[in-house]
Structure 1
């Protein structure tokens, strides 16, 4: 059974008018939410074969915090193409994953994390706040992803 984890970055800061969208760091709430998620991964002994992460400051910081607490990622890569990615592009990225890889996480942005989840599981999801994690059971292989045929196993929103 393949599993896909879609994680929207934690809450970012808008405090500086001098930073580009790409360079915005997490705010204090975002850091707390990322720590909580990392602790959850640690408690569940969650390990993910391959993490694909947007290279923006807030996605990297989210990943780094969770990884430092739980050491969950067995392998990871930062991909420019995830920043401002479309759902079609994410499906293309996943289609190139080694077929022996059992679990993949994408750390990215909305609206693509939200739309990708809805597309894969054929379920309307009201909101996909920052630091939300969707865990999806993939029915077919990475190169044969089908819309509406996968199962949402877990949908974890952060505590405020």
Structure 2
């Protein structure tokens, strides 16, 4: 991958949109060590158990797994260490106040490189109830059936 190549997706948290209602999304920079960047460029990361927390006016990404770099030496990183997110002060304050409300959490949605820089898309999320998940699946299935019926009708 060349620098300036645009957006290159490394990891996506597909389960997040199934388990949560995403109210708002933000793009944040992420502070990484050299071996973490090399592991991400190899396309290896997992956002499944990740979440973000606000601590002393800073946002930290926790639970994200970036495996150790295979060619790394004693300078290798811990796979699940806390990583600082880079946002504007107003965005941090807004996220902190909303995350304090009952039922809200900050979760990572995607991890990618944008013009050679590592970015993470985080979302302010509310947990879905089981019936909400079923309703979402039902709507998706109904939409598929309608599209299928429309395509067969257009083929005639």
TM-score bin (small chain): under 0.3
Q: Which has a greater percent of strand?
A: 2
TM-score (norm. length: structure 1):
0.21
If the length of structure 2 is used for normalisation, what is the TM-score? 0.22
